[in-house]
């Protein structure tokens, strides 16, 4: 958020992001071969409205 606030309006032609989903867990793998990781605090809650407002402000698309 700090970085996005410092970026001018419509600075990026396109923003491709992977925000946290707010599911409170981090794991990777496929089907039966799951590898779990320690929970990360950044994934405890989905991004708030301010995040998306800043994202749309700095992106043209």
The whole-angstrom separation of Cα 3 and Cα 7 is 7
Domain span at 54: 1-17+45-61
Does 31 fall in a domain? Answer: no
Does 35 fall in a domain? Answer: no
The count of structural domains within the chain is 1
Torsions phi, psi for 41 (to 5 deg): -70, -20
Does 23 fall in a domain? Answer: no
Radius of gyration of the chain (CA): 15
Q: What is the pTM of this model?
A: 0.62
Tens-place pLDDT, residues 46-58: 888 999 999 999 9
In contact, 46 and 17? CB cutoff 8 Å: no
Q: Is the pLDDT of residue 40 over 60?
A: yes
């Amino acid at each position: 958020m700090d970085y996005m606030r410092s970026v001018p309006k419509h600075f990026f032609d396109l923003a491709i992001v992977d925000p946290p989903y707010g599911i409170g867990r981090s794991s990777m793998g496929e089907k039966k071969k799951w590898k779990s990781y320690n929970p990360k605090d950044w994934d405890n809650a989905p991004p708030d409205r301010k995040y998306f407002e800043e994202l749309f402000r700095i992106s043209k698309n």
